[in-house]
Amino acid sequence: MSQENHMTDKINSAQENLIQVIIANTSSAIKISNILLEHSEADDKILKADEIICGLVYRLMIPMQDQEIKDSMSEAESIMYDSSDDDDDDDDDDKEIIDDLDDFKGKKKVRTNNCNCDICQEVRVCLLNFNDYVPKDELGDKFKSSIIETCQKYNKII
């Protein structure tokens, strides 16, 4: 009995750890998306599927530096433990992603900006190599397939 409880504890903390890694990864990807947006010529400054996908692709293919991991993990931890509304995480699906209506007519190539800073250039290189990219671990596999799902949802191709 106590053995079982111990196992459950272990599983729970492994899951918590995994969730924390996913949040850290995602929040870091969104930071990249915001940089892409800031450096673009668009005047609306609203995150669209393009920037979101580019941010996720970049974060999948360019590993975080140690300091970035620490920062993102502690940020993720504060999101996990400060959140008062655990119950309704179902209804925030698409709120953040707004896209042009004409994107629904057919598949469109994911767009990025023309900025030549290190990050924006690297994003373009990542997009070119995304389809051939082989993730290094199971979590990477999951991230890659979720990027592909996101593209399908928004009629985008990389």
Q: How far is the CB of 113 from Zn ion (least distance, A)?
A: 7
Considering the rule CB under 5 A, would residue 120 count as an interface residue with Zn ion?
A: yes
Of the residues 21, 30, 39, 139, which one makes contact with Zn ion according to CB under 5 A:
39
Nearer to Zn ion, 39 or 142 (CB): 39
Q: How many CB atoms lie within 10 A of CB 79?
A: 15
Considering the rule CB under 5 A, would residue 111 count as an interface residue with Zn ion?
A: no
Size of residue set near Zn ion by CB under 5 A = 4
Chain position carrying tokens 């053995």: 3
Nearer to Zn ion, 103 or 122 (CB): 122
34 within 8 A of 107, measured Cβ to Cβ:
no
The answer to whether the Cα torsion of 88, 79, 146, 33 is positive or negative is: positive
Strand partners, 109: 157
Integer Cα distance of 25 and 10 in angstroms: 23
Nearer to Zn ion, 57 or 73 (CB): 57
Of the residues 30, 42, 115, 158, which one makes contact with Zn ion according to CB under 5 A:
115
The two tokens of residue 38 are: 């800031």
Q: How far is the CB of 17 from Zn ion (least distance, A)?
A: 33
Phi, psi of 106 (to 5 degrees): -170, 170
Q: How far is the CB of 20 from Zn ion (least distance, A)?
A: 29
Chain residues that interact with Zn ion, rule: CB under 5 A: 39, 115, 117, 120
